[in-house]
Amino acid sequence: MFEIAWNDKSRKEYDALDGSELVFVDKALNRIRISGMQAGKALHGNLSSCRKLKHKKMGLRIVFRESSQGIEIIEIVAIGKRAKFKVYKDAEDRL
């Protein structure tokens, strides 16, 4: 079982989600807790150390990576919509 770690901005993004978005994100977080870095798909470029889980219909993405605090800690880097690649730009800025 992996532990979830948050940065200040990803925690605020999580807290701002509405009910239907929370259902998806909570399920995704459970997948991350169980599978760690095996969950989701690998990203590339500046985010090559990260993976993503997505919900196409909602347009939501969760970008996460292995935390520098320990191998069993997964840090949530960003949560947001893909529109104009905003979630990925936010994630790059936070790394």
Q: Model-level pTM?
A: 0.88
pLDDT, residue 49, reads 95
Each residue's pLDDT tens digit, 59-84: 999 999 998 877 789 999 999 988 88
Instruction: For residue 32, report the phi and psi dihedrals to the nearest 5 degrees.
Output: -65, -40
Three-state DSSP state, 16:
coil
pLDDT, residue 84, reads 87
Domains delineated in the chain: 3-94 (3.30.2310.20)
Contacts of 64 (CB under 8 A, 6+ apart): 32, 39, 40, 50, 51, 52, 53, 74, 75, 76, 77
Interatomic CA distance for residues 6 and 57, integer angstroms: 25
Question: Locate tokens 């993004």: which residue?
Answer: 13
Each residue's pLDDT tens digit, 21-61: 999 999 999 999 999 999 999 999 999 999 999 998 899 99
